Amino acid sequence: MKKAVYLFVFTLLLIVSSNGYSQFKDYSIKGGVQFNPLMPFSEFDSKFSFIGRGFVDFELTNTLALELGAGYGQYVTEDNFNPHGTAVVDHDKEVKANLIPIDARLKITPWSGTKSSWNPYFYIGAGLLNFDVTETPDVTVSPQYSELQSGWTGFVPAGIGTEIKLSKNVLLDLHVGASYTFTDLLNNFVIEDYKDSWLQGGLGIAFAGGEDCTIDTDKDGLTDCVEEKGCTNPAIADTDGDGLNDGSEVNTYKTDACNKDTDADGLIDGMEVNTYNTNPLKTDTDADGLTDSDEVNNYRTDPLDSDSDNDELMDGAEVKTHKTNPLNPDTDAGSVFDGIEVARGTDPLNPADDVPEVKKEEPIKVGQVITLEGINFATNSAEISSLAEDKLESALNAMKEYPNLEVEISGHTDNTGGRAHNMRLSERRAESVKDWFVSKGIDASRITTTGYGPDQPIDTNDTEEGRFKNRRIDFKRTK
């Protein structure tokens, strides 16, 4: 009998020492049956004894349950205490008592939420035990054997065990423990200050129901039931260790709570949300052609701004196409932004071509009118663009080379809007061009301005292209 108990304990410890990977299922109620071989402890030798027991468990918290149970069994010992004569050597020395235990136990599961297929527990309880001695030795010198004992007493069970999941709702229960009673009458033999008790092993089957889907063990905003159905660990608030708890990933950011870098851009989700404010679902948040990780870790550009240096070239185009510095608006330090150079066809890596070569211009004849190509305006605007300034350089050079040359600058509009408005707008455009020349050192007295509004179109106003041509600046030499 002792060898069998030792083997059972060894097997249980072997099972308890194995590893689990995720949470054991939470239930609000379980019920089942157990068969418990007993090793009696009394004045006599122990014989095979048992208790069959039914039980119901009620979950109180995620790590504590109340178990109510009742059963039936036999407590069997062998009288080796009283001497017997040879005349009765063949007598029956067994003492048998029927047992009916009724008890309540607290089951403590400290590792609940960390195991997938098994659930270790401790238990301790209290109960009432009905006992009825039904058989005693044929011959005895003990006066206690004169009457068979029976009655009620209290007892305290305690032990350890584990539940092993066989299927979703069926569990195998294994445990070892001991029960201490408050009587010495289970073997119908009394020694002062000695109480009968027993050790026991247990093998049972339990059926679980009433799944509890309100528990959130790790306080991450997802119930354990939800986490069990997915890939997250109900005992770890941030399963993938990315700096966002599982609930935030699932409910708020829609990221993968089991993958720390959902969009595979090289930045973990928590850094994208908490540090860089980038989109953890989008590899390239600002759509500039560089991944968020490349911008943060390699190029030090702003992953939220497609043009970090505001040179009118996106960061990705600077790095991959033009080989310019996305943090320097004028990579070649030639005085012209990279975007302007690319737009006009010069090399943003060569400072020598930033300022166009000045060609000597023959002065126009007095009374001759020329239209400055490229000096066009947006509708209702008199602002000179950077590209328009480049076109004015040749006229500026001529004004500087021929200091006696005087001109009339006339502004023209399309027919969009009222005539009075366009007359004022054309005058403002002419004045804008004059102001530019004056800012470059030309004497204001050499330039007069006139606004003709829509009165002198050079193309049709029925098309966008025609209206664009009509919004122009003309130069007329007056001296």
pLDDT-based confidence at residue 363 (cuts at 50, 70, 90): low
pLDDT above 70 covers what percent of the chain? 83
Please give the Cα distance from 424 to 452 (Å, whole number): 9
For strands 197-211 and 27-41, give the pairing: antiparallel
pLDDT at 272: 93
Q: Which residues pair with 69 in a beta bridge?
A: 55, 103
Question: Please, what is the average pLDDT of the chain?
Answer: 84
- Give yes or no for a contact between 274 and 268, defined as CB atoms under 8 angstroms apart: no
Instruction: Give yes or no for residue 83 having a pLDDT over 90.
Output: no
pTM: 0.45
Q: Which whole number is the average pLDDT over 302-306?
A: 94
Structure tokens at 391: 């076109």
Alpha helices in 245-347 (DSSP H): 246-247, 269-271, 292-293, 315-317, 338-344
- Give yes or no for a contact between 285 and 274, defined as CB atoms under 8 angstroms apart: no
Would you say the C-alpha torsion 87, 90, 92, 94 has a positive or negative sign? positive
pLDDT at 145: 53
Instruction: Give yes or no for residue 138 having a pLDDT over 80.
Output: no
What is the domain partition of the chain in residue ranges?
2-211, 224-353, 369-477
Instruction: Give yes or no for residue 108 having a pLDDT over 70.
Output: yes
Alpha helices in 236-385 (DSSP H): 246-247, 269-271, 292-293, 315-317, 338-344
- Give yes or no for a contact between 328 and 374, defined as CB atoms under 8 angstroms apart: no
Instruction: Give yes or no for residue 244 having a pLDDT over 80.
Output: yes
pLDDT-based confidence at residue 217 (cuts at 50, 70, 90): confident
pLDDT at 464: 86
Structure tokens at 213: 């889907």
Please give the Cα distance from 281 to 271 (Å, whole number): 13
Instruction: Give yes or no for residue 285 having a pLDDT over 90.
Output: yes
| Contacts (Cβ under 8 Å, ≥6 apart) of 345 | none
* Other C-beta atoms lying within 10 Å of the C-beta of residue 153: 17
pLDDT digits (tens, 9 = 90+) for 402-452: 888 899 999 888 888 888 898 988 898 889 888 888 998 999 999 999 999
pLDDT digits (tens, 9 = 90+) for 250-271: 999 999 999 999 999 999 999 9
Q: Which whole number is the average pLDDT over 191-195?
A: 78
Of 1-15, 109-123, 323-337, least confident by mean pLDDT is 1-15
* Phi and psi, residue 125, nearest 5°: -155, -165
pLDDT at 14: 41
Q: Which whole number is the average pLDDT over 221-235?
A: 85
pLDDT digits (tens, 9 = 90+) for 87-103: 445 457 888 999 999 99
> From the centroid of its chain, how far is CA 314?
31
Instruction: Kindly report the CATH number that applies to the domain delimited by 2-211.
Output: 2.40.160.20
For 473, what's the count of Cα atoms within 13 Å in the CB-facing half-sphere? 29
Instruction: Kindly report the CATH number that applies to the domain delimited by 369-477.
Output: 3.30.1330.60
Q: Which whole number is the average pLDDT over 40-49?
A: 92
